[in-house]
Amino acid sequence: MTQAFGDQGADQAPGRGSAPAEWIGRNPVAALVIAVAIILALWLVLAPWPAGFEDVFGKKRLFINALFNGITLGGLYFLVATGFTLIFGLMRNVNLAHGSLYLFGGYMGYEAGQWTGSWLFSYVIAFVCCALIGMAMQFLIFRRMEGQDLRQTLVTLGLSIIFSDLMVWVWGGNAIQIDTPDYLVGPVPTPIVVAVKSSGEAVFLQYPRVRLVIFAASVVIGIAMWLALHRTRIGVMIRAGVDDRDMLSVLGYRVQLLFVAVFAFGAGLAGMAGIVGGTFQSISLGEDSHFLLASLVVVIVGGMGSIPGAALGALIIGCSEQFGLVYFQNYATVLSFLIMIIVLAIRPQGLLGRR
């Protein structure tokens, strides 16, 4: 916990709201470069491409689809990784069973959907089930070995081995697809031109409604979490705990309760993400380690314990995976790890992480 000293005030902007303006004033060149990049990116997405462009990047439809898939996949990764990063930030516990919670949530959501027929209700079930497991883990095990980072991590590892084997036992090795509810089936027209017909008529992109809705939901969850962390009493306690856990408990706050709550919330989010994953793709044996690794990479890239970092990392990793699938098929998954290695080499604490 050496980072607790000295740099507490470093990232706090002096006045609320003036931070971006001040930053632009200090770095005019960087701000200009970023502005130009944003305009270029918008043009790349919205306008039809000139002829020479498609030779280099392939069909625009492919590019835009990869971009949209990447961003929506990023939304899913964000849901999984925020819980992971919150738990790590507050309790210094690397929860290697996080992928198992994701998978368990997916299976519970599937069962609940089969039973009640309601897709939305299955989210409640998945959240509650995973939150209960998270609470039990924190209350029964991790409370007893506080401050022993490595031992806690090893316990989560043991739990993940057991969980994944038990889930194979109950649900077997076959992939399960969660049905999209009727009101979310089908494509949505978007105002993005992907091609121009020979008659001069523009072709607009159609995109699955369910992916857009889920992405919007994860953005809402992200903003709500940010507001909860920065505008409520519990949020202040959590942020104080991330900075200096011992001090918070010395001040008389009930840290143990806070730990249980945060663990339950993070686990519940992972469980809900399981349903999202089951609807987007499918859930099956092995998805637990896939999503554990995804959240590891997201959190390492974005910065340990930082929620905006998790959002940024999720976006980067989601996009890199989808673009990799389109442009470098042989190395698709390796690409996101390559990004991780580069970030580690340049900025070991992650893009938005603090030392």
Residue 330 sits in the site that holds another protein (CB under 8 A): yes
Across 49-87, b (16+ Cβ under 10 Å) vs e yields beeeebeeeeebeebbbbbbbbbbbbbbbbbbbbbbbbb
Applying CB under 8 A, the site for another protein has a residue count of: 44
Residue 115 sits in the site that holds another protein (CB under 8 A): no
Given the complex with another protein, which of 112 and 310 has the nearer CB atom?
310
Output the smallest distance, CB 327 to another protein, in A. Answer: 14
Residue 166 sits in the site that holds another protein (CB under 8 A): yes
Q: Annotate 292-325 with three-state secondary structure.
A: HHHHHHHHHHHCCCCHHHHHHHHHHHHHHHHHHH
Residue 192 has phi, psi (to 5 degrees) of -110, 125
Among 59, 61, 151, 254, binds another protein (CB under 8 A): 151
**CA 88 – CA 245 distance, rounded (Å):** 12
**CA 251 – CA 236 distance, rounded (Å):** 13
Of the ranges 25-33, 117-125, 252-260, 294-302, which one interacts with another protein (CB under 8 A)?
294-302
Residues 169-228 that bind another protein (CB under 8 A): 169
Residue 349 sits in the site that holds another protein (CB under 8 A): yes
Please name the residue that has the structure tokens 């969980």. Answer: 163
Residue 293 sits in the site that holds another protein (CB under 8 A): yes
Please name the residue that has the structure tokens 């498609």. Answer: 54
Output the smallest distance, CB 151 to another protein, in A. Answer: 5
Among 73, 94, 210, 255, binds another protein (CB under 8 A): 94
The sign of the torsion formed by the CA atoms of 153, 310, 254, 249 equals positive
Residue 2 sits in the site that holds another protein (CB under 8 A): yes
Q: Within 13 A of 351's CA, how many CA atoms are on the CB side?
A: 21
Among 92, 98, 211, 245, binds another protein (CB under 8 A): 92
Of the ranges 106-114, 177-185, 248-256, 298-306, which one interacts with another protein (CB under 8 A)?
298-306
**CA 120 – CA 187 distance, rounded (Å):** 20
Output the smallest distance, CB 174 to another protein, in A. Answer: 15
Given the complex with another protein, which of 214 and 298 has the nearer CB atom?
298
Number of H helices, E strands in the chain: 14, 2
Contact status, residue 122 vs residue 279, Cβ threshold 8 Å: no
Given the complex with another protein, which of 22 and 246 has the nearer CB atom?
246
Which tokens belong to 41? 């990116």
Given the complex with another protein, which of 153 and 190 has the nearer CB atom?
153
Which tokens belong to 284? 């099956």
Residue 341 sits in the site that holds another protein (CB under 8 A): yes
Of the ranges 115-123, 127-135, 198-206, 331-339, which one interacts with another protein (CB under 8 A)?
331-339
Output the smallest distance, CB 103 to another protein, in A. Answer: 14
Which tokens belong to 173? 């090795």
Residue 340 sits in the site that holds another protein (CB under 8 A): yes
Pairing of β 202-208 and β 187-196:
antiparallel
Residue 348 sits in the site that holds another protein (CB under 8 A): yes
Among residues 179, 177, 83, the alpha carbon closest in space to that of 133 is found at 83
Given the complex with another protein, which of 24 and 154 has the nearer CB atom?
154
Residue 246 sits in the site that holds another protein (CB under 8 A): no
- Which residues contribute to the site for another protein (CB under 8 A)? 2, 92, 94, 141, 145, 147-151, 153-155, 157-162, 164-166, 169, 289, 293, 296-297, 299-300, 304, 329-334, 337-338, 340-341, 344-345, 348-349
